[in-house]
Amino acid sequence: MATQNVGTFSVAADGVDPNKVPKKTLYTGAKIPAIGLGTFGSDRFSGEDIAKAVVGAASVGYRHFDCASVYGNEHLIGPAFTEIMRGGVRRDDLWVTSKLWNDKHGEKDVGPSCEKSLKDLRLEYLNLYLVHWPFPNFHSPGCDVSSRSPDAKPYIHENFMKTWRQMEKLVERGLVRHIGTSNMTVPKLKLLLRDARIRPACNEMEQHPHFQQPELFKFAMASGIQPIGFCPIGSPTRPDRDKTQTDTVDIQDPVIVTIAKRLNVHPAVVCVKWAVQRGQIPIPFSVFRNEYLSNLQCTASAPLAAEEMKAIAGIDRNCRLIKGQVFLWKDGQTWEDLWDLDGRITPP
Ligand SMILES: NC(=O)c1ccc[n+]([C@@H]2O[C@H](COP(=O)([O-])OP(=O)(O)OC[C@H]3O[C@@H](n4cnc5c(N)ncnc54)[C@H](OP(=O)(O)O)[C@@H]3O)[C@@H](O)[C@H]2O)c1
């Protein structure tokens, strides 16, 4: 057992009662907290910092944590979950998501990859296991957006279904309660819904006021797939390699800033509050107590006014931040080719 110091779990007097945090109901009837803590520290925070934030966030009332093997910190977050449960939180009251990385789509790799995440996280089951990207394209963590893998492949539905069958087996084996997708598009989800024996419960997708993805959002909701919104604040401190000159900044938008002033909160909090009220599940990241606490508190306070919701609906800039360039599979493509913008899967 590691002797890593993850801090001590204790119910914080200024925290939010987890029973007061809204929940969403999935098609299985399971309830998932309507906000989770992101655990991807980019290049800025160590796994140890993030594991401490997980314990701190649970102490103030978070019960939902968004993990992934590619974040490289599940072995450090595992002891944090052990500490939280040692402190009295039941496993059934936690929601833990993990994700299958792109180099593990092979039929023989899915089971062992999930088992490794479970071992690292020190859990007997995951609430949700996602296919992180629909492409089996590996790239090394932290690489430049211009780097390409010579083995990169397009989306091939037949291959994706082979991966999905293995995901379904994880449910049958009791290792995971729900399976889902991430970074999908409407045409890819339509094919999956046609062919899945066990339907995806959630799709994790980029969503913030300047990138609302209304069509995909509506499709998912209408299909019984709960959207989980990543980069809910517009990932203001993401690495420079993930920024382009045309990217816009949600937390500087006058509509967001005006509402933040009315509520006397940071504009980031308005983004989180809007997300919960709209219906996606935001998973904001922060290791700072004041930030993750205010992100949680806003989910249990008076809702935004209808005019404010309408004003935020009007500031969508279609500004995708996580463009996925490294997953392109042939020369001469642009990142738009990954996202099936004309409603058809981009041909190989
Ligand atoms: N499925 C996928 O492909 C995928 C892709 C990307 C991300 N994700 C998940 O989504 C999570 C969140 O994404 P993200 O970290 O890129 O973006 P984000 O949550 O939009 O932005 C996080 C940053 O916002 C700032 N922030 C957070 N709360 C704040 C507050 N109350 N006041 C002021 N600033 C605040 C923090 O900056 P400072 O640290 O400077 O304070 C933090 O680093 C990740 O951790 C990961 O779990 C999934």
Alpha carbon separation from 7 to 57, 58, 293 (Å, rounded) = 11, 11, 17
72 within a domain of the structure (yes/no): yes
Q: What is the pTM of this model?
A: 0.97
191 within a domain of the structure (yes/no): yes
The CATH number that applies at residue 332 is 3.20.20.100
Q: 50 in ligand 1 pocket by Cβ < 6 Å? A: no
Segment 270-320, tens digit of pLDDT: 999 999 999 999 999 999 999 999 999 999 999 999 999 999 999 999 999
Number of domains in the chain: 1
Alpha carbon separation from 268 to 119, 236, 252, 260, 288 (Å, rounded) = 34, 9, 9, 8, 13
Q: 82 in ligand 1 pocket by Cβ < 6 Å? A: no
Segment 10-67, tens digit of pLDDT: 999 999 999 999 999 999 999 999 999 999 988 899 999 999 999 999 999 999 999 9
77 within a domain of the structure (yes/no): yes
Q: What are phi and psi of 74, to 5 degrees?
A: -65, -35
245 within a domain of the structure (yes/no): no
62 is catalytic: no
198 within a domain of the structure (yes/no): yes
Q: How far is the CA of 65 from the centre of ligand 1 (A)?
A: 13
What pLDDT does 210 receive? Answer: 98
Q: 288 in ligand 1 pocket by Cβ < 6 Å? A: yes
Q: 266 in ligand 1 pocket by Cβ < 6 Å? A: yes
344 within a domain of the structure (yes/no): no
- Measured from the Cα of 288, ligand 1's closest atom is 41
Confidence of residue 2 (pLDDT cuts 50, 70, 90): very low
CB 245 within 8 A of CB 220: no
d(Cα 314, Cα 214) in Å, to the nearest integer?
11
Residue 158 domain boundaries: 21-237+279-287+323-339
Q: Could you tell me which residues come within 8 angstroms of residue 217 by beta carbon, excluding any fewer than 6 positions away?
A: 205, 207, 227, 279, 280
Nearest protein CA to atom 13 of ligand 1, as residue: 231
What pLDDT does 3 receive? Answer: 62
